[in-house]
A = this chain, B = another copy of it.
């Protein structure tokens, strides 16, 4: 139907969020997802930090336990881990599943929305890792240039 298509076009065009605007909610969302821990958690749930890449299927997104996440993200405090996981859950990026064993087992898994964001933030992590040497060289040159009286 032409009407449906037109309506869809309008709906898509209507939602004009612009992160350049201070008051736009998308700026706050950008602020939330532009976070070290968000990137690392999503990548971990995406299967990037698993020590055993040769898993059952193919290293795709997996459900991880809280303690597994804590171990993968070396140096994260439980406060930041829990806090970040909560906000990710609230935003619909991860699901939290509680299995009533003794002691209780809690697993986190990416949602479809979370996987779509993973594609983006994974690029951030790999960019940082791949260009570290170049950036380090630039810093050295910059510091040598500016520290000279």
A54 at the interface (CB under 8 A from B): no
- Is A113 touching B134 in the complex (CB atoms < 8 A)? yes
Query: Using a Cβ–Cβ cut-off of 8 Å, how many residues does chain A contribute to the interface with B?
Result: 58
Q: What's the dominant secondary structure at chain A's contact region? A: helix
Task: Give, as a whole number of angstroms, the nearest-CB distance from A75 to chain B.
Answer: 3
Interface string of A64-93 (1 = CB under 8 A from B): 000000001111000000000000011110
- Is A19 touching B89 in the complex (CB atoms < 8 A)? no
Bound state CA distance, A124 and B119, in angstroms? Answer: 10
Task: Give, as a whole number of angstroms, the nearest-CB distance from A108 to chain B.
Answer: 15
- Is B33 touching A20 in the complex (CB atoms < 8 A)? no
- Is A127 touching B116 in the complex (CB atoms < 8 A)? yes
A21 at the interface (CB under 8 A from B): yes
Among candidates B23, B31, B129, residue contacting A19 with C-beta atoms closer than 8 Å:
B129
